[in-house]
Copies of this chain bind each other. A is one copy, B any other.
Amino acid sequence: MDLAIVAHAAEAGRNAEALQALHPSFPTEAPPRFDVERLARIPDVSRETRADCVACPLFRFSRCGGEDGQSASSTYLDMSRLSYTTHTAAARRAIRHPKEWSDYVMVICSGRAVSSITLPDGRRQVLSILLPGDVVCASSLFEPISGYAADAITDVTYRRFNRSEFKALLSKNYGLFERLAKMWAEESERADQLALDLGRRRADERVARFILNLAERLARRGMAYGQTMDFPLRQRHIADATGLTAVHVSKVLGEFQRLGMIKIHDRSLTIVDESELRRVGAPH
């Protein structure tokens, strides 16, 4: 779930040096591809934004007054009042423990993570791959929740916002609520599609769709280089996301590569034959 606006807007009006100190890894997340024309199309915001914000993925990939034409200026300014703290988690460490009932909402700033549910016997379902700008657990925006784990895949930086502050802001700002409602709808659809995938699609379809989905989400953030993307995921992650075993994922991926549909190399993935991948990814 993109709540990029929350995290980004908090950034506005703060000191660039301080930000650099807080999370030096920020600018390295994606190659700096400053799209000046696009920025110019974003009303109000661009004029008030510091250079470091432009490099911040939470800004660049937000739909905060972006292309979709939402009126964002007032929302944007209001949200800058939210306070946050910035944290890091090393690769393979927990960002959020399943039993936690936290008063905070967490947003990923850089790196990759997974959110998942695990059964006592170890079976695990990952609900989503978390990318920069994603809220760690969407339903935690309004209520403290438990039962969800979030784990860093790569080194991750994230920010914690105070939930009650956020809600207080929300109560005064219907525009923000509108955006949230849209996000809810998207989030629900993603969850429903996941159920469809897990309940009714075969292994190769699931894996193909998983890759395509990830590619699209990255592309939307400008984090894809042509048909190539960073791919730090272990096959275990893919397996838990698609409801398969890691062994079977290995076989499916191997087959995809043998058929020339994708290429995986050195922690990056290239979609070679997109149309074929889409065909396997099957009936929309």
Instruction: Using CB atoms and an 8 Å cutoff, list the residues of chain A in contact with chain B.
Output: 117, 119-121, 123-125, 127, 138-143, 145, 147-148, 167, 170-171, 174, 177-178, 181-182, 184-185, 187-189, 191-196, 198-201, 240, 242-243, 282-284
Inter-chain contact B242/A199, CB cutoff 8 Å: yes
| Contacts A139-B184, A145-B185, A185-B143; A194 near B195 (Cβ below 8 A) | yes
Contacts of A240 in B (CB 8 A): 199
In the complex this chain forms, how many copies of it are found?
Answer: 2
From the candidates B145, B177, B198, B200, name the one contacting A171 in the complex (CB within 8 A).
B177
Inter-chain contact B117/A192, CB cutoff 8 Å: yes
Task: Identify which of A124, A143, A178 gathers the most chain B CB atoms within 10 Å of its CB.
Answer: A143
Contacts of A141 in B (CB 8 A): 181
List 20 extra interface pairs beyond A188-B188, A198-B199, A199-B243, CB under 8 A: A117-B192, A117-B196, A119-B200, A119-B283, A123-B200, A125-B192, A125-B195, A125-B199, A139-B184, A141-B181, A143-B181, A143-B182, A143-B185, A177-B177, A184-B184, A188-B191, A191-B191, A191-B195, A195-B195, A200-B243
